[in-house]
Structures are given as structure tokens and as C-alpha cells.
Structure 1
């Protein structure tokens, strides 16, 4: 079945940018699937959703919308009509009336999870050592160093606002549960995916498999794309 008519939009989470999807984009291209990494300002949930909507408005045809971590809340908030499926990669999926912070803090934190707090500007930075210790602990030292060097902070305003009705209530969704995640408790991910009614892939990957296990991420995206293409 051809997937040339299906577009994939990849949305980064906190402490990252679109380059975190580069290996996924390469592998999707090998399968003749067009992908775009949507840039988020990480200044507020409203700003981030608006930025994603601008990217979606530029794309013709059906879209599989993919979000990592915090971006799960963003893809769930987007209302563009061309979005036909959602894919959550170790992501947060707040329900209506919940905040990102509400769902992020559920479950027992991993011993190596970093302590996070906003600075005087209201920005939350990830400690440099946390990239190798929790954010992408399956990455090589060189990869972790690059992730730390390009990190973009997330504003506290992104995580404290209740979301509206999430799109996963109305669209088919997939969820890659990262069983080795040290940032978002795997049991928390399983709980969110179950209440979504998502198609679940539980894999022994870390919090950022787009970098450390890109082929596994691609397989989930392709499954969603095949479902969209078949409609």
C-alpha cells in the first residue's frame, strides 16, 4: 500500500528542537513518507499550539501527527482538520481540565530523574548531566553532549494551564510506551495510553527513542500511516 499521500508532522518536546527527529525523518524518507518537524517556541501551551497549527496549515493531505513528551499535550490541542491520527512517543496526554504538570508528576519518580524548577525568568532548564542520566540514557556520550548543547528551555506557563477536549478522544491514536523511561514513569505512560484507548507498543527504550531507537519510532508511525492511508 502506498504511503506517498500521507504526511507526518513531528513535534518536539521540552529541552529539544526539531533536530531531535533527524534520524526518524531520514528513515521515513527511505520509505517515501514526507515528514516535517514543527518548531515550537515553548513559551506557553497556547503559543505552542498556535505554532503547530501554522505548520499544519502549510500541508496538503492527511497528516499523522507525532508528539514527544510535553508535545503530547500540544498535538492533543491542535484542531486542524487534516490531522487524521495521533502518535504519542513517551508522551504526556492530559485529559480535559488537566494540566501537563498534573500528568507529568503522576507515579513514582525514577531515582535519576532530575529536580526541575523555573528560574527567575520562568524558564525550566534541564541540568546538563540529566541528558545522559535520564533524558536519553541510552545515547552515546557524544549524542548526549549534543542534546545538552542544543537544549531549549520550556516556560513554566506551558505546564500549568488546563487543556481543552483532547483530540485523542476523536481520532485514532498510537502510543509508544518507553519502558526504560527515567523522565516520565512507564506506568504513568501505560495508564494514559489505556484511558486513551490507544494502540500501544511497549518497548525497552529510553525517554528519547527518536535519537536512541529511531527505527522503533518509525515502525509505530508507519503503522499509523498505513491506517490513515487505508481510510
Structure 2
């Protein structure tokens, strides 16, 4: 069994994806003795995703490291007030403050023209398939990127205008992993958010799909959080 202080990890995916992308991180952490649970976000509203995450947190048998990728960062910011959560890990993730929306985090930063979102008539967003490889997963193979593009989960675009009520990072220690070739966010935006929340920052070469392509680094940061969150 692992000697880490915390052995429970909950992983929260972002928009346009589902929990299966965490498989590499899951395998690495479980091999080190962690108990890993993966949330499946409906991506229909902030409340729905927070509820899905809280349901998983309720099932844990002790303190938890709560991890979010991309939009999942907003989800863990709200859901992270759960008493089981001891620390937060943001993986190229959004980190709003209480009263702020995800969309507000983009204000004042450069646009990301390679990250192309197509919106349906009913208000759901998909990443453009032709731009998916370059915009979301440039460091994955063409075959893997095509699978992710064809299996992507649409997100209600309205979620990016929903403000969080709580900011768990204000009371709990945070870590951040930032991909230096992320095309979903301006690098300055990622660095600004991570610095504002006081996160211990790790940068790694990689695309927005770093939760897949850089699974070892992500798993190492989660393990570091587990060792140090309660100190």
C-alpha cells in the first residue's frame, strides 16, 4: 500500500471529453496504491457537473485530492468546498473566484484561433473536427485525435456564463499543471489563473490533451499534492 498521507483521488474531465481520457493517469496512480474515482460530467450546467462531482466525493472514505482538467477546473473550484477535499489540482484548467464565471477568465488575454468551437442551434458546442487535432490534441497521434474528435461530448455553451458561488482554492492548497503548447487558452491566462490561486505550478510540453499525453507528469503532481496537502 502507498505511504502517501492521502490515498483517494477524484478526477474531473473538461468540456468536449469524458472521463475515459484519464485512463493513463488512473493506471499510474492505482499502481502506486491510490484509490481513484472518475466523474462523468453531464456538461449541461455548472450545477449538474458539481452535483455529479459531489456525488463521487460523498462516496470517498477519507480525504481526497480533487483534480480538474480545463472546464473541470471550474467544477472543482465549486465542488472543492466538500469536507472530504484536502487539496486541488488544476490541469490546464480554469480557476474562477467566487462570483466569477469561466468566460470572464478570458477577458484581457489573447484569442485562441486554433481552438474552433461549432455551436448547434440548441446551444451546445462541439470542437470542429477538422481543427480538433491541432487545437485540442496536437501531441497525440492522428488516430487518437480522430477518436477523441468522434467521441467528444458536447457542452452547453451557457455554462461558461455561470458564476461559481464558492472558490475552494481560497481555503485549500492547490497545484497546477500547465501545458506550454495548449491552444485552448492563452499561456498568460493559464499562468495568471494558477498564480492568483497560489498554486504550485508545473509546466510541461504538451497540448490541451496533456491529461492524456503527459499522464506521468500529471500523476506525479497529484502524488505530490497527496503527500503535502495536509501538512
Q: TM-score, normalised by structure 1?
A: 0.94
Is 1:99 the equivalent of 2:116?
no
Gaps of 5+ in 1: none
Distance 1:204 1:187 in 2: 15
Deviations 1:89-127 (A, max 9, x none): 00000112211111145511234232x353211111111
Counterparts in 2 of 1:5 and 1:182: CA distance versus 1, 3 Å = closer
**Structure 2 counterpart of 1:87:** 89
Counterparts in 2 of 1:100 and 1:117: CA distance versus 1, 3 Å = farther
Q: Kindly report structure 1 stretches of 4+ aligned residues shifted beyond 6 Å.
A: none
Is 1:128 the equivalent of 2:129?
yes
Deviates more, 1:78-87 or 1:2-11: 2-11
Following superposition of structure 1 onto structure 2, how do residues 1-231 of structure 1 map, counting pairs within 5 Å?
Answer: 2-3=3-4, 5-78=6-79, 79-104=81-106, 106-114=108-116, 116-228=117-229, 231=231
Q: Does the 8 Å contact 1:4/1:34 carry over to 2?
A: no
Deviations 1:156-207 (A, max 9, x none): 2211111123100000000111111101111100001111011111122211
User: How many residues of Structure 1 are paired with residues of Structure 2 in the alignment?
Assistant: 229
Distance 1:100 1:21 in 2: 22
Deviations 1:43-63 (A, max 9, x none): 000111011101111111110
Q: TM-score, normalised by structure 2?
A: 0.94
Distance 1:106 1:8 in 2: 34
SS of aligned partner of 2:203: strand
Counterparts in 2 of 1:106 and 1:27: CA distance versus 1, 3 Å = farther
